[in-house]
Structure 1
Amino acid sequence: MKSVQHTRSPSDIPTFFSTGGAVCGLLQKMDWSASPLGDPQGWSAGLKAVMTTLLPAQAQIVLFWGPHYAALYNDAYAPSIGHKHPHALGQPAHIHWRELWDDLEPLLRGVRETGQTFSAKNRPFYIERHGLGETVYFDVSYSAVREADDTVGGVLCIVNETTERVRFQRRQAFLLELGQTLPRLGAAERIGDHAARRLAEELGAARVCFGEDLGEGQRVRIAHEWAAETPSILGDHSYASFDPTLYDVLKSGQQVRRNYAEAEPRSPALQGLGGVLHVPVMRADRLEAMLAVHYKQPRLFVEDECLLVEETAKQVWAAITHARAERALHMLNERLEERVADMLAQREASMLQLHEARKMEMIGQLTGGIAHDLNNMLTPIIASLELVRRQSDKERTVRLIDGGLQAAERARNLVGRLLSFARRQTLKPQPVALALLVEDMHELMARSLGPTISLQVRIDPALPAVLVDSHQLELALLNLVINARDAMPEGGKLTIAAGLDGDGPALPEGLVAGKQVWLQVADSGGGMSDEVLGRCIEPFYSTKGVGKGSGLGLPMVQGLAVQSGGGFAICSRVGEGTEATLWLPTSAAGLPSSEPSPVQAPRAQGPIKVLLVDDEALVRQATLLQLRDLGYDVAEADCAARALALVEQGWVPDVLVTDHVMTEMTGVRFAQRLRERMAGLPVLIITGYANLTPRELHGFEVLRKPFRQDELAQSLAHLLAQKG
């Protein structure tokens, strides 16, 4: 609409413009030569008639007329389009509704072409009416307006904005679900992490994190976070690292809302973000915690969403403090149980109730413990045989030593499988050929299935290799096969197939096409109902009865797929069987050789001092000999305390090699203490029983027992090269 206003004499003003109201006044003064509708005096009788009804109406009504969908509306409708009014009056809709035109135009065209009414309740629309875009909701009814010749001249839209109601209902539903879920999670860590993820999903945020004020008015500890395509900020931060005034504003009980222009400078913690919302959690006028919601793009911070974040922060902090109190009470009860004899009976009863759920965990711990001892025995065996072989020149002796090394290597692989079963081993992804892996397992699977179930394998050997921990994949596949067997008590057919993501089941949401291979286990059993299918991935949920299943098989399979960068899905129909499908990422590297060629172990480059700490004398002595054979200057200690004493006496190591599982202090803890004295000291953790997460390792390099001399040499060379 042009800004120039035209004064008309009363006789020139159409009667349907005289019904009063602000919009009527604007219509009277418009320059209609800039509108595709032309002079109102020349409008059709149908358009004039509908305008006579539309303008004085109290309902929110907009009319889109003609092939250009020129917009005409009344006073009641104007607030719903914000700053688009009054410029949208008389103009083609695609000009001022451009951000939602791809959504709106098909609806209008459908009514115009068919003459049929379109209606919907709480219909979402994305609209820019207050600067930034937002999703709003309307009850809508779009009807055709016909001309005298029965053709459709325009679309009359009667709308009622329900945005506030929808947002209120969604907020209440979210808070209700959160209030029911958080108490069941138990641990404070799980509560904070779950709330951060759910809030990010609800608001479409790039990062949600929950921080606890450290009490000195300077720093906040971020211990719970969910982030997508945004760097993690877990750890301790100063408030000023987010915003210089953040602490003062939060301490006063106010929220901090801010949008950043693309080139506007911001702190490192907020790099790549467009909008941030920080909400305080107060108790007795004291700032106790902060909930931060970060967005990739600038955000219109509507009050209802800000209220949702505020209420969520209160719920989460209350749940976390309650969980901590329960944990403290639980620990106190445990101490009391140890000291009061009459509590032992109650404790035994509780243990019996948890027996089935913990059976697999106990077996895993036992297996892991045995594997740990075996690794400690194998380490000096392998080291000693290697050192003897390097000094022996008799052909028969070399043959015997090679046989001993091969047997030790097989034992090492067996221990790896034990640890994999016990879920006590960090994943070690490597290129795996699915056809070869399934072929190697064929006999084991056939024996597990029994004679009444036929096993068919359809896997092209030419499929690309996948990047996954082969031992964990074997365990996952065996889990699926056993599940299928239990679903076919009368016998049946089991099919294992694989293929590229384009020639099989649809990819799960979030996976990139062209980079995944699917592996499917399908049975002809009785299938699952929708209720069972909906819960079958839940940990500890099992339909097999007491003593026949722990309910951890499918969650472990899903965890392996997701942790490996793939996905997992299961579909089932009653009477038709079940299909369980893993998606695994393809590997850019080639398959490892089945018979690895000998690698020359890199020797020490110059005088390099190694501090070796291990409480197992045999392991320590074997490792000492290996290191000295590689040319390193080694000082040894059987515990962390003696190692610290060596350092205090003047021994300055260039690298630390330490066992992890030691009686007085773990290797990781000892390495951290030594790093406080010697920043940047290269650290190699050796262990035969490790399920440490990257966060628990604090960035230290890990070498699993038992190890070959070349593996030890390569690890040290890599660490020293990084140090430069």
Structure 2
Amino acid sequence: MDNLNSPQSNNAEALCFPEEGAEIGALLQTALMNQSPLGHPSQWSDCLKNLIATALPVHAQIVVFWGPQFIALYNDAYAPSIGDKHPGALGRPAIENWGELWDDLEPLLQGVRDTGKTFSAKDRPFYIKRFGAGETVYFNVSYSAVREADGSIGGVLCIVTETTERVQFERRQAFLIELGRTLPSTSDPCAIERHVLSRLRGELAVQHIALIGIDDDGSHLKTLPADPNDSSSEIRHLPEWTDSMSADLRADRAVLHEIAASPIIPANTRMARYTVSRPSCTIYVPVVLHGKLEAVLNIQPSIKSTFGDHELDLAQEAAKQAWLWINQARAERALRDLNESLEQRVVTMLAQREKALAQLHESRKMEMVGQLSGGVAHDFNNLLTPIMASLELVRRRVEDPRSTKLLDSAMLAADRARTLVGRLLTFARRQTLVPEAIRLEGLVAELKDLIERSLGPMIVVEVDIPDSLPAVFVDPHQLELAILNLTVNARDALEEGGRVKISARADSLKTRTGNHVRLTVSDNGCGMSEDTLKHCVEPFYSTKGVGKGTGLGLSMVQGLALQSGGEFDIRSKPGQGTEVTLWLPVASSPVMQAESRAPETPLLKGSVHVLLVDDEDLVRDSTAHLLQDLGYQVTEAPSAAVALDLFDAGLRPDVLVTDYVMADITGVQLARQIRQRINNLPILIITGYTNAKPVPTDDFEVLAKPFRRQDIASRLANLVQGSA
């Protein structure tokens, strides 16, 4: 038996097939052709021999279907277009190798054979299996009849050109153009993603599709299935992938992962046609932009579907375009959000600026009023000091009942004036406070009876102050006055009766350091309008009738809270009542028990020499008379310079009493210079205009103007006895 692959040398010369087309020519001269229905080429008709000899060297794709069985003969150029059908299709009936498209191809060939008319078409689709998987391919075709010497039709000459890549490229471009044309007008990345994936899923006819964003560290960011109701688009996160899969994706190579078959089939250059027969098959298509893996398109093809070069290219181009659109939408949204944020920030900053300017204006106005009030109060105190001293001196010498009554009325008026000046100084935060550790529950309990009598029987007073609250550091007399002011204001807002509540709780402040206690006085009265609330703490502002208030109550309360190191707040709504809150600092020292307080100091007897320094003649003169009436020996000095000259001349008083504000130097500066001369000399500074003790580290005693006879007597007695 002859070797099927050995050429029939005795016929080779007779055939004289050209060297070009040598592969097919060689195959035609092997024993393989002995098994063909056509037999060995030596047995062919001269027409067929000449036709094949002419077709073999041609670079165009040529196939001849000969005889009624359409035996296939083709040249080297045509062989690649049928893939793995070659060389088995050579010399065999077409139906044996083109069975999948025979219903389409056979009528065309038979029509040419029967009629002798040429059939031609451009981009004619054919479904063919040529790489193990079915796919639709496209050809430009020209089928014409080949006649034998007797004029009968021996076969069909097919000259074809495969246009699959061009057709698929044009279709991809058309799809991408249509995809962009139908892109929703939105800056929502999710809407764009859903639109692209939905169209791509339909175009590729796949089962599931999703786009995975990849973070800089290679971790999975987000998975969005094409169908929002699709719950089966579970996707592997990158950390679960193998190193080779990640490497392929980062190198812009698609990866086909088939669990039941080979674990990983990378598409190193072009993806081989692959028939997906299991739903566990997943194709990962990378989206690489500027050399960086930005996302991965996850595709799960339908069972028995085909996914080849065209589908891969389409998926990759659509995914890249989609990712660009998504990034653009994210950038536009970020820009829009930034613009909106900037606009809002500008609006907020302008509003804050206007508010700050208003607050600055209000602050400057209040500062100016405070300075004016403080200055006026200082002058008033200097005037009240000699008035009250003179009234007390005269009162001690007059025994006539009528004159005594007149003097008592004058003294009462002077006391009221002193209280009013104290309110002015408190508003200006220049009142001399004498803070100490006190317990609010005890202070309010002592005041409750007075408050209830002041408010009347139609108003219920409630007190809610726990015994466990820490003590606060505040001037008790000023706090009592503040609470009385607030409850009287509440009474005026409760014309038909109601409730006034005084409560306290431990609290903290963001604007102040240390611990604080929140003291609140509230009522359920008529409340205040926004305009009234805005101006209620301004000095001299009052909604009461003429002669029914000074307008200093709330400003005094605010001044007390701020000067004590706390805060002040007032809230009110028409018909709902008013709530005033003071934050007071917690005391660091223990509360002095009543039984441990020093008894009232008796007046000194005997000769005590006082050097009195004040540049106001009326104040100095009246104070000197008051001291002399108390039994002191007094030397007067109209200025600090005169006082220093007296010391330098040898004067050695037992105690120094000096005004704080003087033309040349302050009383504190004078006291310091004198302390350098006499280290342990008792010193008392009297003032109508101070912020507190002049220097916290100094041990100078301070007495506020105007003062009563008993006030200066007790203070001097304590000083002199303390230095003895």
Instruction: Give the TM-score of the pair, scaled to structure 2.
Output: 0.41
* Greater Rg over alpha carbons, structure: 2
